[in-house]
């Protein structure tokens, strides 16, 4: 037994003959935000897709609450308490905001119970329940995305570049929400990011992914040098 | 003139009813079900046997839909599910299934034509025109069916899950939707709708082992032209079915028989998206 | 190389032997068969020739056709109609045959026009082939006494030759057409057909005129089917709408599937076996027999998608192990220095983009992009996800993609050209995923890439492939020149990338579009590719447009970088200038202002 919710050991993954991830190991503890930093094309999304079961790993092991979930079916991963917010094609643009939220939970009864928690976090989303999701502004869409993850009341969230394309004020709002989710609801988060300031403002630990391998990791504290890390992230 | 208008409307209604099952399956599973004609035939024989057993003709329609649904679930599990990655092979397999079904009926009931009792006979005077009561009833049923299906898709949890799978299957799976189950239920629903449609139209015609075949190609064309949307299927049935009635009435019934096929092929050549979002 | 022209190739020798054996069997068979069986077999042998064409269309090329019966019927009706209504005699017979072939060719060409165009879906094409026999049947019904409507025509004058003669005609026709088909699918052109089946899009982007090839193939298959139908009508003295109908069309497919698609001989023997059996058994147990073939068909499709023939050949190879000398070693030669060098060092820029925009509905993916790509220039395109980089590539390589604006390649406007035409203007595009042709060998892939320039032999294979110097360099650098007869699916990822690039270069482009060519490669492999790209611009004057995330890689090889953001060009400059720009930093860090909705 260890106290990790999710633990990954020696994961190798990719598409067909292309190897994208090499020997990836990581642990996420309960109530912890772990951020994975890296530029585009370094394998961040592939990592989340492999953990969710969309991509079959070549080798390695993924454990969720000490249960082997390597190469699991995605819907079973979601039902085991993992909420995945992918980076692209994240919403159903032709469905209403309400329908998009309903899809976050498996039954409509649960949805009715939990919708009130969203109201306190993103009142703007509740105001727009009947609108089509595609007509929301970029910032509102990100709020909807986070809301959909939160109504699932997951124990673990995979969040793929949620700060991309957001105004600074919105980014701060997202940071606040993530910290609340961790501290008040005990949700653990695997946060994939390129925005260093945002990631460091919420995360407990960081890992840097370059060309499919972790090249550096550590605890986020006062001594964490943003200057030094940004060298890996500058365009 | 008045009766031609009714012909147009009721023909469109029949085409719509006959095509819905095909569209449901194509929409969710991206599979063109060539056994659709055989499912229609199955519905026809259910109506015929219900008539023999003395069951009310009105009851034979829901009965056919239930049997069709169960049959669809079995077929999906055995034949369709192994072929998700091979769409053209899935077409062929459903075609083979269609042959098997029609041969089973031929073995059981013979090649001959059988008749099912009609729930409504004779004509009624509607808006000043004497017209077949049962054809009018089918038109009414088509409208109800359209509303029921739109309701199923937009109001229920199953409908929501199905729409999610139609638009973005991966995202739906990532949110905990078991897309395999959705596909399976969809195939059942499509088969059920097809059987019900077969039971519904049999009193107008007759049933034989190949009864569904002539309907098969026309419904393919309508569904391909309309994309995945019930309102647009209704529209396509009205336009293409209407043209068919007009050509049959004023030019030649044989030319009328190929109107839908030719028109739909040309529409799709000029605009591969057809009427969807037109 | 010089000896290749003297000795007959293995394939040709095998075809010749097979053909002779077939003809001998056909010559002797009627003496050993009873009248009933001979009668059945004449029809069956003719249908087997039609099944052979179905296998070429569906098994090899991937066109699922339900309508091959229509052409069989056209031939039959040409015979029946001419002999009934116009006249009979050698002259009339030839005229009728000419009509049969001509009408079949025209109908096939029209069907091809309807069914095949860039962007048409395979299901749509199948439905068109399904509609064809249905429409034709209606046409026959509407012909009244001229076509005999639903009862058809019979009792017209014909040659009442001895059954043996008809058997020899039918059998000889089958053996000869099958031999031709066998040589066709084993030729270089046959590889093109397989490439179309495996990856139609990729073939188009190598400049292979996919739709035209499919249509031409359809026309020839139709003519073979029509000739068979003609012979059948002349022999049986009966034509009926069933000969046109799609029931027969689907039966042809079933035989093909049962025999084993893409084996050619499998479907032919399956057709002979099953059709003869049905004629025998349908008297005793008509419905049961059809039921059993239906069940067999479904089982084969689900569980044995390659049909029964592979089982038999596997058994054969257990006793006679497969010899490895089947593949003739292919040699690579150097193509004459060509357009590649001449065009690119000239004054006019190879690529000129003016006011390019692309919208999907209300969504603007690209707006007012202006860009000039010079020869000897490697232009890096960078930008965050969703900036429109891949859409830009798509617009350059497919004339139908853009909403507005103009694109000139070597001073020629691409207009609304399909991808294979744009390749002809000098654009080569490599894809983000390595979309190769799994069952083809490295050499076959390279030949494929040369199809537009060198063509392909219809009934033969050449054992050399001439490539331009840069393609040769890549093969050498990646070691692919030692693996020419390996199937591409067995290559490492790095080699696949190398082959992909070599194939694109083999089309001799002057503008090269590369979408993340180094994704998934190891560091040494990246370096090797980088060196090759540098040489391509410096020594061969190519204009390269490169999408790449790894700025270190871009920095090492690129002269100029364009930053795309939200579909517009944000900045242009050297890598150093771009990296130093605060604006670009802001975009990448996500600090830019969100557009007010």
Chain Cα centroid distance, residue C267: 20
How confident is the model over C459-486, as a mean pLDDT? 85
How confident is the model over C430-449, as a mean pLDDT? 83
Token reading at C479: 């070691």
Q: pLDDT at residue A51 above 80? A: yes
Q: pLDDT at residue A139 above 80? A: yes
How confident is the model over B226-245, as a mean pLDDT? 91
Å between B197 CA and nearest CA of chain C: 22
Mean pLDDT computed over every residue of chain A = 87
pLDDT range class, residue C155, cuts 50, 70, 90: confident
Strand partners, C408: C352, C413
Å between C138 CA and nearest CA of chain A: 42
Q: Of C47-56, C251-260, C378-387, give the lowest mean pLDDT range.
A: C378-387
Å between A158 CA and nearest CA of chain C: 19
The pLDDT > 70 percentage for chain C reads 92
Instruction: Collect all residues of chain A within an 8 Å Cβ-Cβ radius of residue B174.
Output: 52, 54, 74-75, 78, 84, 86
- What does the pLDDT read at residue C232? 96
Q: pLDDT at residue C13 above 90? A: no
Chain Cα centroid distance, residue C204: 9
pLDDT range class, residue A87, cuts 50, 70, 90: confident
Helix (H) or strand (E) holding C521: none
DSSP string, A144-176: HHHHHHHHT--SEEEEE-TTTT--HHHHHHHHH
Summarised one tens digit per residue, pLDDT across range C278-300 is: 887 777 776 788 888 889 889 98
How confident is the model over C113-140, as a mean pLDDT? 88
Q: pLDDT at residue C529 above 70? A: yes
- What does the pLDDT read at residue C550? 76
- What does the pLDDT read at residue C482? 86
pLDDT range class, residue C435, cuts 50, 70, 90: low
Size of interface A-B (CB pairs under 8 A): 53
pLDDT range class, residue A204, cuts 50, 70, 90: very high
Domains and CATH numbers, chain C: 9-245 (no CATH), 342-439+503-589 (3.40.50.300)
- What does the pLDDT read at residue C2? 41
How confident is the model over C161-175, as a mean pLDDT? 94
Q: Which of the residue ranges B178-187, C432-441, C475-484, C533-542 has the most confident prediction, judged by mean pLDDT? A: B178-187
How confident is the model over A220-227, as a mean pLDDT? 73
The pLDDT > 70 percentage for chain B reads 99
Summarised one tens digit per residue, pLDDT across range B93-130 is: 999 999 999 999 988 988 888 888 888 888 888 888 88
Q: Among all chains, which residue has been given the structure tokens 């919105």? A: A170
DSSP string, C253-298: HHHHHHH-TT-SHHHHHHHHHHHHHHHHHHHHSHHHHHHHHHHHHH
Q: pLDDT at residue B148 above 90? A: yes
How confident is the model over B8-32, as a mean pLDDT? 92
8 A C-beta contact, residue A234 and residue C585: yes
- What does the pLDDT read at residue A2? 60
Q: Which of the residue ranges C302-306, C395-399, C590-594 has the most confident prediction, judged by mean pLDDT? A: C395-399
Mean pLDDT computed over every residue of chain C = 86
Q: pLDDT at residue A41 above 80? A: no
Å between C112 CA and nearest CA of chain B: 11
Is the CB of residue C242 less than 8 Å away from at least one CB of chain B?
no
Subunits adjacent to chain C (3 or more Cβ pairs under 8 Å): A, B
How confident is the model over C186-202, as a mean pLDDT? 91
Q: Which residue has the higher pLDDT, A234 or C60?
A: C60
CB contact under 8 A, A198 and C493: no
- Nearest alpha carbon to residue C11 among C532, C450, C457, C565: C457
Å between A14 CA and nearest CA of chain C: 8
8 A C-beta contact, residue C298 and residue B97: yes
CB contact under 8 A, B170 and A90: no
Mean pLDDT computed over every residue of chain B = 90
Mutate to test the interface with A, among C549, C571, C573, C594 (most CBs of A within 10 A): C594
pLDDT range class, residue B1, cuts 50, 70, 90: low
How confident is the model over B33-59, as a mean pLDDT? 92
Q: Pick left, alpha or beta for residue A88 (phi over 0 → left; psi -120 to 50 → alpha; otherwise beta).
A: beta
Is the CB of residue C35 less than 8 Å away from at least one CB of chain B?
no
Q: pLDDT at residue C6 above 60? A: no
- Cα C191 to Cα C206: distance, rounded to the nearest angstrom: 14
How confident is the model over A77-98, as a mean pLDDT? 89
Q: pLDDT at residue C446 above 80? A: yes
- What does the pLDDT read at residue B278? 43
pLDDT range class, residue C594, cuts 50, 70, 90: very low
Å between C519 CA and nearest CA of chain A: 8
Q: Which residue has the higher pLDDT, A156 or B91?
A: A156
- Cα B225 to Cα B223: distance, rounded to the nearest angstrom: 5
Q: pLDDT at residue C325 above 80? A: no
8 A C-beta contact, residue B232 and residue B275: yes
CB contact under 8 A, B262 and C135: yes
Q: Which residue has the higher pLDDT, C581 or C129?
A: C129
Q: Which residue from B91, B97, B261 is facing C298, i.e. has the nearest CB?
A: B97
Instruction: Collect all residues of chain A within an 8 Å Cβ-Cβ radius of residue C595.
Output: 138
Summarised one tens digit per residue, pLDDT across range C353-362 is: 999 999 877 6
CB contact under 8 A, A235 and C551: yes
pLDDT range class, residue C430, cuts 50, 70, 90: confident
Mutate to test the interface with C, among B31, B32, B84, B103 (most CBs of C within 10 A): B103
Closest chain C CA to residue B252: C142
Q: Which residue has the higher pLDDT, C336 or A201?
A: A201
Q: Which of the residue ranges B83-87, C115-119, C349-353 has the most confident prediction, judged by mean pLDDT? A: C349-353
Q: pLDDT at residue C317 above 80? A: no
- What does the pLDDT read at residue C582? 80
pLDDT range class, residue C551, cuts 50, 70, 90: confident
Å between C306 CA and nearest CA of chain B: 11
Phi, psi of C372 (to 5 degrees): -120, 130
CB contact under 8 A, B32 and C123: yes
CB contact under 8 A, C382 and A235: yes
Q: Which of the residue ranges A168-172, B223-227, C54-58 has the most confident prediction, judged by mean pLDDT? A: C54-58
For residue C370, the tally of other CB atoms under 10 A from its CB is 12
Q: What is the DSSP letter of A96?
A: B
CB contact under 8 A, A20 and C492: no
Any alpha helices (H) in C398-522, and if so which ranges? 419-425, 442-449, 451-454, 469-478, 493-506
Q: pLDDT at residue B184 above 90? A: yes
- What does the pLDDT read at residue C590? 53
- What does the pLDDT read at residue C345? 54
Closest chain B CA to residue A107: B157
Phi, psi of C187 (to 5 degrees): -85, 175
Token reading at B102: 């029609």
Provide the 3-class DSSP secondary structure of residue C28.
helix
Q: pLDDT at residue C558 above 50? A: yes
Q: To 10 degrees, the CA torsion angle through C57, C61, C66, C69? A: 0
Q: pLDDT at residue C39 above 70? A: yes
CB contact under 8 A, A164 and C385: yes
Mutate to test the interface with A, among B168, B176, B178, B181 (most CBs of A within 10 A): B176
How confident is the model over A169-192, as a mean pLDDT? 91
Chain Cα centroid distance, residue A188: 9
- Cα B63 to Cα C54: distance, rounded to the nearest angstrom: 41
Q: Among all chains, which residue has been given the structure tokens 């202006």? A: C370
Provide the 3-class DSSP secondary structure of residue A222.
coil
pLDDT range class, residue C462, cuts 50, 70, 90: confident
Q: pLDDT at residue C596 above 60? A: no
Token reading at B85: 């990655």
Summarised one tens digit per residue, pLDDT across range C333-372 is: 887 765 555 554 567 888 999 999 998 776 788 889 999 9
Summarised one tens digit per residue, pLDDT across range A4-16 is: 899 999 999 988 7
Name every residue in B having a CB less than 8 A away from some CB of A.
157, 160-161, 163-164, 167-168, 170-179
ipTM of the complex as predicted: 0.89
Strands (E), C152-308: 153-154, 238-239
Q: pLDDT at residue C485 above 60? A: yes
How confident is the model over A47-56, as a mean pLDDT? 93
- Cα A77 to Cα C182: distance, rounded to the nearest angstrom: 51
A1-81+155-162+188-224 sits in which CATH class?
Answer: alpha beta
- What does the pLDDT read at residue C340? 54
């Amino acid at each position: 037994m260890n106290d990790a919710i999710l633990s990954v050991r020696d994961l190798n993954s990719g598409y067909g003959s292309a190897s994208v991830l090499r020997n990836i190991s990581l642990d996420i503890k309960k109530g912890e935000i772990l951020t994975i930093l890296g530029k585009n094309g370094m394998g961040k999304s592939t990592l989340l897709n492999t953990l969710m079961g969309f991509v079959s790993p070549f080798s390695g092991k993924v454990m969720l609450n000490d249960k082997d979930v390597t190469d699991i079916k995605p819907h079973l991963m979601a039902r085991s308490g993992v909420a995945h917010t992918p980076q692209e094609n994240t919403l159903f643009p032709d469905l209403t905001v309400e329908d998009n939220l309903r899809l976050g939970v498996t039954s409509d009864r649960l949805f009715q119970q939990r919708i009130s928690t969203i109201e306190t976090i993103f009142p703007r989303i509740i105001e727009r329940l009947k609108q089509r999701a595609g007509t929301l502004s970029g910032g509102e869409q990100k709020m909807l995305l986070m809301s959909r993850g939160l109504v699932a009341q997951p124990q673990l969230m995979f969040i793929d570049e949620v700060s991309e394309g957001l105004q600074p004020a919105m980014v701060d709002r997202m940071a606040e929400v993530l910290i609340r989710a961790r501290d008040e609801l005990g949700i653990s988060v695997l946060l994939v990011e390129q925005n260093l300031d945002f990631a460091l403002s919420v995360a407990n630990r960081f890992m840097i992914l370059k060309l499919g391998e972790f090249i550096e990791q550590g605890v986020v504290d006062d001594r964490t040098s943003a200057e030094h890390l940004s060298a890996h992230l500058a365009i | 003139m008045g009766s031609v208008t009714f012909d147009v409307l009721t023909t469109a209604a029949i085409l719509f009813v006959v095509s819905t099952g095909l569209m449901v399956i194509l929409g969710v599973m991206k599979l063109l079900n060539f056994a659709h004609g055989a499912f229609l035939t199955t519905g026809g024989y259910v109506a015929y046997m219900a008539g023999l057993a003395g069951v009310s003709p009105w009851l034979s329609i829901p009965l056919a839909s239930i049997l069709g649904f169960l049959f669809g679930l079995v077929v999906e599990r055995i034949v369709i599910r192994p072929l998700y990655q091979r769409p053209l092979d899935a077409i062929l397999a459903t075609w083979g299934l269609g042959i098997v079904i029609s041969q089973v009926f031929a073995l059981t009931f013979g090649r001959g034509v059988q008749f099912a009792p009609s729930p409504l006979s004779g004509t009624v005077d509607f808006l000043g025109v004497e017209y077949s009561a049962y054809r009018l009833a089918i038109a009414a049923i088509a409208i109800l069916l359209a509303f029921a299906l739109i309701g199923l898709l937009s109001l229920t949890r199953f409908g929501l899950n199905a729409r999610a799978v139609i638009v973005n299957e991966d995202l739906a799976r990532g949110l905990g939707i078991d897309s395999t189950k959705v596909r399976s239920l969809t195939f059942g629903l499509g088969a059920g709708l097809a059987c019900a449609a077969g039971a519904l139209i049999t009193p107008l015609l007759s049933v034989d082992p190949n009864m569904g075949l002539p309907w098969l190609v026309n419904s393919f064309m309508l569904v391909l032209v309309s994309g995945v949307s019930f309102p647009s299927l209704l529209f396509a049935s009205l336009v293409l079915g209407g043209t068919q009635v007009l050509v049959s009435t004023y030019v030649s019934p044989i030319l009328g028989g190929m109107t839908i096929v030719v028109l739909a092929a040309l529409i799709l050549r000029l605009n591969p998206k057809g009427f969807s979002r037109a | 190389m010089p000896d290749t022209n003297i000795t007959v190739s293995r394939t040709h020798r095998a075809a010749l032997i097979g053909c002779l054996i077939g003809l001998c069997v056909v010559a002797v068979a009627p003496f050993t068969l009873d009248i009933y069986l001979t009668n059945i077999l004449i029809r069956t042998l003719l249908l087997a020739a039609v099944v052979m064409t179905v296998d070429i269309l569906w098994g090899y090329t991937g066109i699922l056709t339900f309508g091959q019966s229509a052409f069989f019927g056209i031939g039959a009706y040409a015979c029946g109609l001419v002999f009934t209504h116009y006249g009979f005699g050698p002259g009339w017979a030839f005229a009728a045959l000419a009509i049969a072939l001509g009408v079949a060719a025209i109908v096939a060409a029209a069907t091809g026009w309807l069914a095949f165009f860039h962007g048409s879906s395979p299901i749509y094409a199948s439905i068109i082939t399904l509609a064809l026999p249905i429409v034709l049947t209606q046409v026959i019904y509407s012909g009244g006494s001229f076509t005999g409507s639903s009862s058809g025509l019979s009792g017209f004058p014909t040659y009442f030759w001895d059954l043996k003669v008809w058997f020899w005609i039918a059998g000889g026709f089958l053996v000869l057409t099958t031999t031709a088909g066998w040589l066709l699918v084993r030729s270089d052109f046959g590889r093109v057909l397989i490439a179309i089946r495996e990856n139609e899009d990729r073939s188009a982007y190598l400049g292979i005129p996919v739709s035209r090839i499919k249509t031409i193939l359809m026309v020839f298959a139709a003519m073979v089917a029509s000739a068979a139908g003609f012979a059948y009508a002349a022999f049986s003295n009966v034509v009926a709408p069933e000969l046109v109908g799609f029931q027969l069309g689907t039966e042809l497919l079933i035989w093909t599937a049962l025999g084993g698609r893409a084996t050619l001989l499998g479907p032919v023997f399956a057709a002979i076996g099953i059709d003869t059996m049905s004629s025998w058994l349908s008297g005793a147990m008509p419905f049961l027999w059809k039921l059993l073939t239906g069940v067999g068909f479904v089982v084969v499709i689900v569980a044995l998608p390659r049909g029964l023939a592979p089982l038999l050949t596997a058994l054969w190879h257990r006793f006679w192990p497969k010899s490895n000398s089947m593949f003739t070693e292919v040699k690579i030669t150097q193509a004459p220095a060509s357009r590649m060098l001449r065009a690119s060092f000239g004054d006019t820029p190879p690529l000129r983009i003016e006011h390019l925009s692309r919208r999907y509905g209300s969504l603007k993916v690209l707006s007012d992009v202006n860009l000039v790509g010079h020869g000897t220039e490697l232009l890096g395109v960078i930008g965050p996800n969703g900036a429109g980089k891949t859409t830009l590539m798509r617009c350059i390589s497919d004339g139908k993609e853009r909403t507005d604006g103009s694109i000139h390649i070597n001073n020629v406007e691409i207009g609304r050209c399909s991808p294979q035409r744009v390749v002809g203007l000098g654009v080569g595009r490599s894809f983000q995923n390595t979309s190769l042709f799994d069952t083809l060998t490295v050499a076959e892939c390279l030949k494929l890439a040369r199809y537009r320039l060198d063509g392909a032999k219809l009934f033969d294979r050449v054992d050399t492939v001439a490539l331009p110097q840069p393609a040769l360099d890549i093969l050498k650098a990646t070691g692919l020149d030692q693996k020419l007869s390996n199937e591409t699916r067995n290559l490492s990822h790095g080699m696949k990338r190398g082959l992909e690039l070599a194939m694109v270069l083999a089309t001799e482009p002057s503008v090269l579009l590369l979408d993340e060519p180094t994704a998934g490669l190891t560091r040494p492999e990246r370096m090797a590719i980088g060196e090759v790209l540098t040489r391509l611009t410096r020594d061969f004057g190519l204009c390269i447009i490169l999408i790449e995330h790894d700025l270190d890689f871009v920095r090492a090889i690129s002269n100029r970088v364009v930053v795309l953001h939200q579909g517009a060009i944000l900045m242009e400059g050297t890598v150093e200038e771009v990296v130093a720009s605060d604006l670009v930093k802001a975009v990448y860090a996500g600090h830019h202002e969100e557009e007010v909705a």
